[in-house]
Amino acid sequence: IDDQNHQTYGGVIVFRDVTENRELEKQLTYQASHDELTGLVNRREFEIRLSQAILNAKVEHSHYSLLYLDLDQFKVINDMGGHNAGDELLKQLSKSVKNILRESDTLARLGGD
């Protein structure tokens, strides 16, 4: 703030709490990269991580493994027990497999099953 002689004699400082905005950003980022039901990495995030692993393997001459699991006839579970039963199976299976993986490993849900 200047006076009539253009001498500075004060100032204004404005603070704004952005905590809520940052939390919403984190939540949106998480939702964009994770499956809502299981909390696992989704297809989009998996493809990003896979591309990075392939690049690392080429540049650093490192090795990676990929295991693809297909729940054969998963539709039967949904048809016989309902979608709640199928959802519960997916959540329990995800939790069980995640518990045996290393922190550095990626477990993803790529599709509906």
What single letter denotes the amino acid at residue 41? V
Return the pLDDT at 73: 86
Q: What is the pLDDT of residues 70-93, one digit of tens each?
A: 888 888 988 999 999 999 999 999
3-state secondary structure of 2: strand
C-alpha torsion angle, residues 75, 79, 82, 86 (rounded to 10): -20
- Catalytic residue, from 70, 72, 79, 113: name it: 113
15-49 pLDDT, tens digit each: 999 999 999 999 999 999 999 999 999 999 999 99
Q: Identify whether 87 is a catalytic site residue.
A: no
Residues 112 and 59: beta-carbon distance below 8 Å: no
- The pLDDT of residue 94 is 95
pTM of the model: 0.74
Residues 6+ apart with CB under 8 A from 90: 37, 38, 109, 113
Predicted local confidence at residue 1, as pLDDT: 86
What are the backbone dihedrals phi and psi of residue 74, each rounded to the nearest 5 degrees, phi first?
-60, -30
Maximum pairwise Cα distance, the chain: 85
Q: What is the pLDDT of residue 28?
A: 95
- Quick one: pLDDT band at residue 113, thresholds 50, 70, 90? low
d(CA 85, CA 102): 28
